[in-house]
Amino acid sequence: MPIFNKLIEIDTEPGINIHNITPHIKDFLESTTIKNGQVLVFSRHTTTALAINEDEVRLLEDIKVFLEKLAPASDRYLHNDLHLRVVPEDEPMNAHSHLMAMMLNNSEVIPVTDGKLGLGTWQSVLFFELDGARKRTLCLQISGE
């Protein structure tokens, strides 16, 4: 079974921002010979996440507000006691970002049928920056026949 791998980089903004990465995945799929199989998307960071949902501006704003309510940046977190652990000089106080990421996924698997992603009409693969701004790396892996 053939397997194709690709890394994609995304430059993110500070705070919560959401990126539709579906076009990247479609382009990569089209560059392979896979007609039936699956795509694995994996984020290599602990303050980012992935989800499949609708890419609609007002919904994305609702999602940001929802996540901020789940783990407000202003709350007290032990992880933010930077003076009690060894950290790089530029380490942010980002416990809230780690907690938000735990409520989402760090990977998604999408079926491939007849050379097309098996997403529903309104579904997109969304990448969430929950801390930023940084250069982030996602792993794409397509396998099948």
The CATH number linked to 84 is 2.60.120.460
What is d(CA 69, CA 72) in angstroms, rounded to the nearest whole number? 6
The dihedral through the CA atoms of 53, 54, 59, 60 has a sign that is positive
Q: Is residue 128 pLDDT above 90, yes or no?
A: yes
| Per-residue model confidence (pLDDT) at position 1 | 86
Count the domains in the chain.
1
Is 90 a residue whose pLDDT tops 90?
A: no
Could you report the per-residue pLDDT of 2-26, keeping only the tens digit for each?
Answer: 999 999 999 999 999 999 999 999 9
Determine the average pLDDT of the residues in 82-97. Answer: 89
Give the tens place of pLDDT for each residue, 32-59: 999 999 999 999 999 999 999 999 999 9
Owning domain of residue 30: 3-144
